[in-house]
Amino acid sequence: MPELPEVQTTVNYLKKSVTGRKVLDIWTDTPKFFRGGFGAAKNKIRGKKIISVSRRGKYVVFDFQGDSGMLIHQKMSGHLLVGRWKKEKARWIPVFPKTLNDPMNRFIHVIFYLSGGLEMALSDLRKFAKIVVFKDEKLNEVEDIKKLGPDPLVISFKKFAEILKRKKGRIKTVLMDQGVIAGIGNIYSDEILWYSGIHPLKRVEKLSVGGVKKIYQATKKVLRLALKQGGTSSDDYRKPDGTKGGYYEARKVYQREGEKCSRDNGIIKRIKIGGRSAHFCPKHQKLLR
């Protein structure tokens, strides 16, 4: 699932490519993506100019001319692409750019036809993505947004520490809770804990002030590094031009089970926490009681 760096990379690209363009029409073969109905969503934004594109947690947020806005959560395998396509034998074939020819970009289920001959498409192998059109001034009242915690890129240490102080449970699980901190998932929670030297099973209520500080600093560091690399393309995710993000090659621990830790030559292990995998180095991420 795209996390903060992947979503912010997408938003940065969309800001430059689709802002100022009108939505001329929308096509889909999967109306269920549109919560509240495809027809209603189409009627609200067709003919409207895209004023801005931003991010809330893992959501891409579009602000349209007038009183409409739109949220897109790309979910497990979805990613937004920008270019042009043509249909051949029930398949969408990219016309440009050539980088859209990556096989992971072929699952086109929504196309927004924009002014100037450009198109924005949603490729989603598993069809789990969510699109919500809402009244502009009601963004903070949209159920998905109301539940989100603060953004890890802008939160202060004081606020971060206050939030963790009120929580209980395993630190990896808490970091991935979108109601606690918005935008961190499986990949970056592993990376953050590797950098901070904290075991993923460590209980939040047993963290020292120094431990919380290390997690806070590692969170900023990891997310910024991943954003600089355009995110992680370990599976489905691609940038809007169809290319891969580069952080997968730079990762320290995620999906490196059995490999030597680059910090101390410990052997990376993988365990399950709440149904999710957690990767860590047992040599410098010790579970101290």
Between strands 34-35 and 50-56, the pairing is: unpaired
| Closest by CA position to 145, among listed 71, 53, 36, 69 | 71
Distance of alpha carbon 239 from alpha carbon 248, whole angstroms: 13
Catalytic-residue membership of 58: yes
Q: Is 84 a catalytic residue?
A: no
Give dist(CA 135, CA 155) in Å, integer: 27
- Residue 152 annotated in active site: no
277, 7, 145, 120 alpha-carbon torsion, rounded to 10°: -130
Q: Which of 35, 55, 56, 58 is catalytic?
A: 58
| 35 flagged as catalytic | no
- Count of all residues that appear for the chain in the document: 289
Q: How far apart are CA 98 and CA 102, in angstroms?
A: 9
Q: Are 245 and 87 in contact (CB under 8 A)?
A: no
At 55, is the secondary structure helix, strand, or coil?
strand
Helix (H) or strand (E) holding 133: strand 130-135
Of the residues 84, 106, 220, 276, only one is catalytic, namely 276
Q: What are the φ and ψ backbone dihedral angles of 98, each rounded to 5 degrees?
A: -65, -25
> Which tokens belong to 146?
């109301």
Catalytic residue among 2, 94, 152, 240: 2
Could you give the residue numbers annotated as active site? 2-3, 58, 276
